[in-house]
Amino acid sequence: MRDIRHRVGVAARAAGRNPDEVRLIAVSKTFGIDQVRMAANAGQAEFGENRVQ
């Protein structure tokens, strides 16, 4: 997650954006609960998918 957040920050700054205003939303659609928990434990707080739970 640290590497991903760094890359997002670099891209945001290159686009003239404030990295703190960019939200990283993980898509959990095709992943099982174990993978989602791993991402959450690594610091990912926002998840989304396009199906009803």
pLDDT for residue 51: 67
pLDDT tens digits in sequence order for the chain, 53 residues long: 889 999 999 999 999 999 999 999 999 988 999 999 999 999 999 999 876 66
Question: 47 — alpha (psi -120 to 50), left (phi > 0) or beta?
Answer: beta
Q: How many other C-beta atoms lie within 10 A of the C-beta of residue 26?
A: 19
pTM listed for this prediction = 0.68
Asked whether the beta carbons of 21 and 41 are under 8 A apart, the reply is no
Q: What is the 3-state secondary structure (H, E, C) of the chain?
A: CHHHHHHHHHHHHHCCCCHHHCCCCEECCCCCHHHHHHHHHCCCCCEECCCCC
